[in-house]
């Protein structure tokens, strides 16, 4: 898998889970992961924690875009609310996150998780704090 669209290397956690950033620009990010057997819950479908990871990551990246590989911005999740609304039936999970507001120290974001067939799996909203 490739690095984030030419901006930074993937984290160890990202590599372990197997997701990648496929689009990243100001106030927007898309992360994708192939559905793999290790992601399954007791029912054999992707665990809600996988959904939460992708939703949270998309929102985190959306608020931290700088456009400059030498100026990395990081944030911490202060709150995360997830609504699980459907089941993935495809082979990939795709989360799109959008920064929707905020200020100098915190920001707010929303995200949607679908599969590669377009089925809505979950939605989320979050509050994030920029790290110095």
pTM of the model: 0.92
pLDDT digits (tens, 9 = 90+) for 16-71: 888 999 999 999 999 999 999 999 899 988 999 999 999 999 999 999 999 988 89
- The two structure tokens encoding residue 81: 């609310």
Q: Left if phi > 0, otherwise alpha if psi is -120 to 50, otherwise beta: which for 101? A: left
């Amino acid at each position: 898998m490739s690095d984030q669209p030419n901006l930074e290397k993937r984290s160890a956690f990202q590599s372990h889970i197997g997701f990648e950033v496929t689009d990243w620009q100001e106030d927007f990010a898309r992360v994708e992961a192939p559905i793999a057997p290790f992601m399954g819950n007791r029912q054999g479908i992707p665990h809600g924690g996988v959904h939460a990871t992708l939703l949270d990551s998309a929102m985190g990246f959306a608020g931290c875009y700088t456009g400059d590989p030498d100026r990395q911005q990081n944030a911490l999740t202060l709150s995360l609310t997830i609504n699980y609304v459907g089941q993935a039936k495809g082979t990939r999970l795709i989360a799109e996150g959008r920064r929707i507001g905020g200020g100098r120290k915190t920001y707010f974001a929303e995200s949607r998780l679908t599969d590669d067939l377009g089925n809505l799996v979950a939605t989320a909203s979050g509050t994030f704090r920029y790290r110095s």
